Amino acid sequence: MENKDPGTLWVVGTPLGNPGDLSPRARQCLEEADVVLAEDTKREALACARWGVQVKRFISYHDHNEKEKADSVLEALREGKNIALISDAGMPVMADPGYVVIRACREAGLPVSVIPGPCAPVTALAGSGIPPQPFVFFGFLPRKRSDQEATLAPYAVIPATLVFFERKDRLQETLENAFALLGPREVCVARELTKTHEEYLRFRLEALPDLSGLLGEVTVVVGPPEGNARTSREEVLAIIAEEQPLGGAPRAVARRVQARVRGWTTGEVYAILPRVK
């Protein structure tokens, strides 16, 4: 039986909004691929129509099915088919599906190649005017305040710029939490990147404007710490001494203290609370 060369999994960057950002190489790959894996096949079919790209076949590939689809993708590659992977916009894997099948291909020794293209975190960082390196990208931050604390608090003292996505209806509260955890910093909210109403909003965490009416897709860039951002243990203990006599359960006291300090999670404050007998 004749052995076939395996196909390649192509990871393809697509426009964030402006169709002119689709590269000629990306266009050729999407048209020549036997299959295009897409998060939302209907949405991507419409996008390809706008770009003037004719795709042979779409297959749904998203967060909820990527593990179960990985085996069939590998099988198709072994049969010699070329497969393109795209996300709803920008670079796959960057807070979008793709990691599972790419890792599976690497472990199986199957070819993977990337056609670079638009990437929202890098675009926002480049246009923000905030120190670009080092930087940390979180994707979407967790929804719960306690999980946001656990994610952001360590970066109160790590000299890095922070980049993340956030839904516009949660943006105000998230940035209020960020100030409580990180202290005074520069911020840039980049919205509708590469689109008609693209906008970079610059301000400081301690002077947070009203963002409740903000529209569009949002990428946030938070600058690195300025000076010693983390409140010392001694200062935290002094604030605990002020708050504990005001009463309340230990968890409630810890939350009040955490709101007055920088770089501490509620759990960390709770752990050093003197226990009143």
Lowest-pLDDT range of 92-101, 169-178, 196-205, 228-237: 228-237
Q: Is residue 227 part of a domain?
A: no
DSSP per position, 215-246:
-S-EEEEEPPP-S--SPPHHHHHHHHHHHGGG
Cα-to-chain-centroid distance, residue 173 = 17
Determine the structural domain holding residue 239 and report its residue range.
Answer: 233-271
Phi, psi of 140 (to 5 degrees): -85, 135
Span 206-236, pLDDT tens digits: 999 999 889 888 999 999 988 666 788 888 9
Span 19-77, pLDDT tens digits: 999 999 999 999 999 999 999 999 999 999 999 999 999 999 988 888 889 999 999 99
Q: Is residue 199 part of a domain?
A: yes
- End-of-domain residue from the set 118, 143, 164: 118
- Whether residues 201 and 126 fall in one domain: yes
Q: What is the three-class DSSP state of 163?
A: strand
In the predicted model, is pLDDT for residue 195 greater than 80? yes
Q: Is residue 151 part of a domain?
A: yes
Residue listed under structure tokens 């690497």 = 106
pTM check: above 0.85: no
**Taking a C-beta distance cutoff of 8 angstroms, is the pair 161, 132 a contact?**
yes
**Rounded to a whole number, what is the distance in angstroms from the first to the last CA of the chain?**
80
Q: What is the three-class DSSP state of 153?
A: helix
- Whether residues 72 and 154 fall in one domain: no
Q: Before 24, cis peptide (omega within 30)?
A: no
CATH value at residue 47: 3.40.1010.10
Q: Is residue 210 part of a domain?
A: yes
Q: Is residue 228 part of a domain?
A: no
Q: Is residue 100 part of a domain?
A: yes
In the chain, the number of structural domains is 3
